[in-house]
């Protein structure tokens, strides 16, 4: 039996106060639910509803964490450009 290939994700959430949060996970749905339940990052607690604006998949945790670090170093304008440029591939989910 073949094992499923585990993917790792970098995602960007838009909070109700219009700030952006960038994170890493190996299960986007589960992580978004944790944020919505107030069990995610301290930053997102009390800032809902949250909207998933962007996500990228990687085969290794290392690649995903490197990308997360890169995106977190960007200013807001650059993050907004990433979101706009990948609009067709994003999933918007409100929590």
Q: Domain total for the chain?
A: 1
pLDDT at 2: 62
For position 20, which CATH number holds? Answer: 3.40.1440.10
In a domain, 58, yes or no: yes
- What CA–CA distance (Å, rounded) separates 62 from 64? 5
pLDDT at 92: 45
Q: Where are the beta strands (DSSP E) in 1-95?
A: 8-14, 20-25, 51-58
In a domain, 1, yes or no: no
In a domain, 2, yes or no: no
Q: What is the pTM of this model?
A: 0.86
In a domain, 39, yes or no: yes
In a domain, 49, yes or no: yes
pLDDT at 7: 96
Report pLDDT digits (tens) over 57-73: 999 999 999 999 999 99
Domain range for 30: 8-89
pLDDT at 3: 63
Residues of the chain under the 70 pLDDT cut: 1-3, 88-95
């Amino acid at each position: 039996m073949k094992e499923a290939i585990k993917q790792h994700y970098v995602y960007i959430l838009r909070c109700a106060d219009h700030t952006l949060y960038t994170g890493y996970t190996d299960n986007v749905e589960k992580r978004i639910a944790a944020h919505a339940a107030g069990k995610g990052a301290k930053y997102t607690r009390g800032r809902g509803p949250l909207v998933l604006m962007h996500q990228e998949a990687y085969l290794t945790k290392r690649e995903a964490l490197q990308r997360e670090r890169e995106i977190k170093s960007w200013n807001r304008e650059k993050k907004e450009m990433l979101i706009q440029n990948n609009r067709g591939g994003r999933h918007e989910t409100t929590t």
